[in-house]
């Protein structure tokens, strides 16, 4: 059976913040769902199936689908949950897109959320191997810094170049009402003067932990006709990898799952030169240095040229390939929603609804997801119907 064309026709996001003490998880989910339905001009009755994405242990509450299905409008409808770490949101989006593409459902809602303020990321310890890793666990930042030290040693990227990524992100975030961290006046000097967490990672090089939810409406078949600027789904790829950080020779220097997933997507949609042929990218950068490494893994530049690429300004809004015009993960990171946000922001660009950070002439958009140090999702959307 051949997949049929499907598109994202509506998105909704909460204002992502350090804490949303005014709502519980379900109410936050409902907020994003209502905004997405409004955006797509649909009602609850129109939704055929729902995909939920959340990292349940962070809030200390098992079966988030039990607690949040009704707030997503899921009663009496098929609901499934996807949890793959940081990639949860992109994996959930892929699941929803493929459900619609299969012809099984015409209209699918994807909604992801996290309420970091409620819980403890210490529960992230439960991700690690109980026999081996927990005795020596030193947190996400230390592990990032270890991988980054190798990337810096092999490629020679500088702290200034990484800081330029953080500056781009927070300035873009200042244009986005939904962004959690925003700073229109941030400078490279301010990033480098922020506290050192784990050499060479400064506080302002890192993503925040946020409360927030994001939703997508996917439609297929005749349902796509009434929409003026659908974000057509062109292809996706997913890769998982071995669990220990030490298993991979190159780690961040060349994340093999991201490169391989991107190459598969480029092959599927016929992209030869990603830098020239992609108009905008929303990628999952948990730390400034990672964005540089992903430029190389995604083929935006040659290996070792990421520092030059950020210096060129090409990845800023107005450049040849704006990366994370929304501000990205460095501005908002409600983990279970973060991948959904990447897809939503790419779709908003193709819907021509990105407001102050709209990229002129955005017709082809790339999305990447990053999970548990090793996993990758890549998705591609276009304004052109397949």
Total residues at the site for other proteins (CB under 8 A)? 39
Residue 164, burial from CB neighbour count under 10 angstroms (0-12, 13-18, 19+): buried
β-strand pairing of 79-82 with 49-53: parallel
Q: Find all residues with CB under 8 Å of 255, minimum gap 6, and list them.
A: 293, 294, 297, 374, 376
Q: Which is nearer to other proteins, 28 or 198 (CB)?
A: 198
Is residue 63 a contact point for other proteins (CB under 8 A)?
Answer: no
Q: Which is nearer to other proteins, 21 or 304 (CB)?
A: 21
**Residue whose token pair is 């784990």:** 198
Is residue 293 a contact point for other proteins (CB under 8 A)?
Answer: no
Q: Terminal CA-to-CA distance of the chain, rounded, Å?
A: 17
Which 8-27 positions form the footprint of other proteins (CB under 8 A)? 21-22
How far apart CA 347 and CA 344 sit, in angstroms, is: 5
For residue 20, the minimal CB distance to other proteins (Å) is: 9
Give the three-class secondary structure for 327. Answer: coil
- Using the contact rule CB under 8 A, the part of the chain among 76-84, 145-153, 261-269, 324-332 near other proteins is 145-153
**Would you say 200 and 194 are in contact if contact means Cβ atoms under 8 Å apart?**
no
Q: Which is nearer to other proteins, 217 or 261 (CB)?
A: 261
Which 82-141 positions form the footprint of other proteins (CB under 8 A)? 118, 129-132, 134-139, 141
How far apart CA 380 and CA 275 sit, in angstroms, is: 14
How far apart CA 265 and CA 259 sit, in angstroms, is: 10
Site string for other proteins, 182-211 (x = CB under 8 A): -------------xxxxxxx----------
Q: Which is nearer to other proteins, 73 or 119 (CB)?
A: 119
Is residue 241 a contact point for other proteins (CB under 8 A)?
Answer: yes
Residues near other proteins (CB under 8 A) are 21-22, 60, 118, 129-132, 134-139, 141-143, 145-150, 153, 195-201, 241-242, 244-247, 249, 251
């Amino acid at each position: 059976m051949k997949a049929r064309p499907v598109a994202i026709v509506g998105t909704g996001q909460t204002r992502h913040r350090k804490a949303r003490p005014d709502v519980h998880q379900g109410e936050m989910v409902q907020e994003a769902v209502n905004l997405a339905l409004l955006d797509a001009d649909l009602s609850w009755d129109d939704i055929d199936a729902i995909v939920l994405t959340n990292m349940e242990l962070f809030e200390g509450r098992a079966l988030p689908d039990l607690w949040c299905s009704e707030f997503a409008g899921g009663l009496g409808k098929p609901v499934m949950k996807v949890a793959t770490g940081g990639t949860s949101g992109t994996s959930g989006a892929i699941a929803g897109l493929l459900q619609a593409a299969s012809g099984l459902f015409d209209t699918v809602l994807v909604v992801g959320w996290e309420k970091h303020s409620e819980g403890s990321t210490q529960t992230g310890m439960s991700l690690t191997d109980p026999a081996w890793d927990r005795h020596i666990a030193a947190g996400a930042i230390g592990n990032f810094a270890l991988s980054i030290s190798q990337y810096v040693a092999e490629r020679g990227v500088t702290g200034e170049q990484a800081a330029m990524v953080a500056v781009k992100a927070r300035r873009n975030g200042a244009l986005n009402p939904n962004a959690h961290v925003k700073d229109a006046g941030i400078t490279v000097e301010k990033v480098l003067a922020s506290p050192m967490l784990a050499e060479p990672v400064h506080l302002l090089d890192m993503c925040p932990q946020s409360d927030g939810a994001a939703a997508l409406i996917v439609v297929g078949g005749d349902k796509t006709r009434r929409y003026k600027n659908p974000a057509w789904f062109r292809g996706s790829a997913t890769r998982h990898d071995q669990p220990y950080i030490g298993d991979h020779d190159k780690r961040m220097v060349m994340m093999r799952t991201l490169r391989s997933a991107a190459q598969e997507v480029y092959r599927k949609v016929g992209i030869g030169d990603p830098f020239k042929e992609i108009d905008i990218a929303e990628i999952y950068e948990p730390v400034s240095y990672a964005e540089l490494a992903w430029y190389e893994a995604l083929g935006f530049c040659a290996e070792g040229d990421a520092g030059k690429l950020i210096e060129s300004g090409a990845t800023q809004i107005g450049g040849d390939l704006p990366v994370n015009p929304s501000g990205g993960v460095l501005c908002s990171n409600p983990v279970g929603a973060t991948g959904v946000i990447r897809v939503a922001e790419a779709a908003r660009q193709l819907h021509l609804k990105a407001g102050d950070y709209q990229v002129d002439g955005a017709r082809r958009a790339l999305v990447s997801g990053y999970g548990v140090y090793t996993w990758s999702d890549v998705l591609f959307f276009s304004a052109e119907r397949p």
